[in-house]
Structure 1
Amino acid sequence: MTEDLEPVSTPDKEARQWAMFCHFAAFLGMIFPFGNLLGPLIVWQLKKETSSFVDDQGKEALNFQITVAVAMLVCFLLMFVFIGIILIWVVGIAALVLTIIAGIKANEGKAYRYPFCWRLVK
């Protein structure tokens, strides 16, 4: 006996754009301190009720930025033994690349999961 599975619907254009904004709001961290955390948090809180896709991607973006903030703090502390100088660049470049990939995937309507992400917000 086979069940007819409903195809997963693609989120509408507005939901995809807001999900993309959730990821790209992390770039506010380049303008002011903790903007990488506040940007995704604000966009997610404003739009999480409009779409389950925006809610999911907003949580994912926020969780990743929390993970990046913790990793950067550890790298900063490791600067005193010099390995942190290299690691902070690795974490920064990885965060930049993964955030761009996530924003593009969200705009395509695909739910993106960051690798090495500590998921605190459920």
Structure 2
Amino acid sequence: MDSYKPWGLDRNTFLMLLHLSQLAWIIIPGAGFVLPVIMWATTKDQVPEIDRHGKMIFNWMISLFIYSIVSTILIVLGVGLLGLIVLALINVAFILIGAIRANEGVFWRYPLSIRFFQ
């Protein structure tokens, strides 16, 4: 198993790209949720580390979706635009930090993530 290269990449590079794949939502709305799922689903059975990172990323994506709904409700009430901007900046920062840490071989959990999957 040690020689397994997910998608032909070394593990740390793949994990970095798995984290960065969430940024696809900037280019194609919704793709930031689909691309990480495809990357995780096609490799998780080969490398437990990928499964662990994938579950953590899903926890963050679901948490972000919940936070976005709350922010949208607050915007409608007239008090949440700043919160939505802050949430977007936090999302990008956390994704970049997660990618950098994954490339260094470190598992870094998104701090504001709600744990749905262990």
How many Å apart are 1:37 and its aligned residue?
A: 1.7
Choose from 30, 41, 44 the match for 1:45: 41
Q: In 1, distance between residues paired with 2:32 and 2:78? A: 25
Report the CA distance between 1:58 and its aligned residue: 1.2
Cα RMSD, aligned residues only = 1.6
8 Å Cα contact 1:37-1:66 kept in structure 2: no
- State the TM-score, normalized to the length of structure 2: 0.85
Query: Of residues 54, 57, 60 in structure 2, which corresponds to 1:58?
Result: 54
Query: Are 2:96 and 1:100 aligned?
Result: yes
Paired residues in the alignment total 111
Counting aligned pairs with the same residue, the percent is 24
Conserved in 2, the CA contact under 8 Å of 1:20 and 1:102? Answer: yes
Deviation at 1:53, TM superposition (A): 1.4
Is 1:23 aligned to residue 16 of structure 2?
Answer: no
CA distance in 2, matches of 1:54, 1:15: 8
Deviating 4+ runs (over 4 angstroms): none
Contact 1:21 1:43 in 2 (8 A): no
Query: Residue 72 of structure 1 corresponds to which residue in structure 2?
Result: 68
Q: Which residue does the alignment assign to 1:6?
A: none
CA distance in structure 2 between the aligned counterparts of 1:37 and 1:70, rounded to whole angstroms: 14
| Alpha carbons 1:22, 1:40 under 8 Å: kept | yes
Gapped regions of structure 2 (runs ≥ 5): none
Q: In 2, distance between residues paired with 1:74 and 1:39?
A: 24
Larger radius of gyration: 1
Name the TM-score, length of structure 1 as normaliser. Answer: 0.83
From 12, 31, 44, the counterpart of 1:35: 31
